[in-house]
Amino acid sequence: MSAGAGLVQYTRAFRSLVEAQLKLDSCVAQMSRKLKVTCLELDRLNEEVEGIRVAIAEAGRDPLKSSGIPRMQEGLTAVVAKQDTRLGVQWPSEVRNWNLGKVCDLKSAQVGQLPLNLPVFRPPPDLLGPQPLHWKVQFGKGVAVYAKRGSRVASAEVVRDQKSGWQNQWRAPIGF
Q: At how many degrees (to 10) do helices 2-61 and 91-99 cross? A: 160
Does residue 23 fall inside a structural domain? yes
pLDDT tens, position by position, 71-129: 999 999 999 999 999 999 999 999 998 888 887 776 677 888 888 899 999 999 999 99
The pLDDT of residue 130 is: 97
Q: How far apart are CA 97 and CA 93, in angstroms?
A: 6
155/4: higher pLDDT: 155
Residues 6 or more apart whose Cβ sits within 8 Å of residue 43:
165, 166
Q: What is the DSSP letter of 142?
A: E
Domain span holding position 142? 2-170
Does residue 103 fall inside a structural domain? yes
Does residue 50 fall inside a structural domain? yes
What average pLDDT does the chain have? 89
Kindly report the number of other CB atoms within 10 A of residue 114's CB atom: 21
Band of the pLDDT at 175, cuts 50, 70, 90?
low
pLDDT tens, position by position, 40-49: 999 999 999 9
pLDDT tens, position by position, 19-63: 888 989 999 999 999 999 999 999 999 999 999 999 999 999 988
Check pLDDT > 60 for residue 176: no
Does residue 29 fall inside a structural domain? yes
**How many folded domains does the chain comprise?**
1
Does residue 175 fall inside a structural domain? no
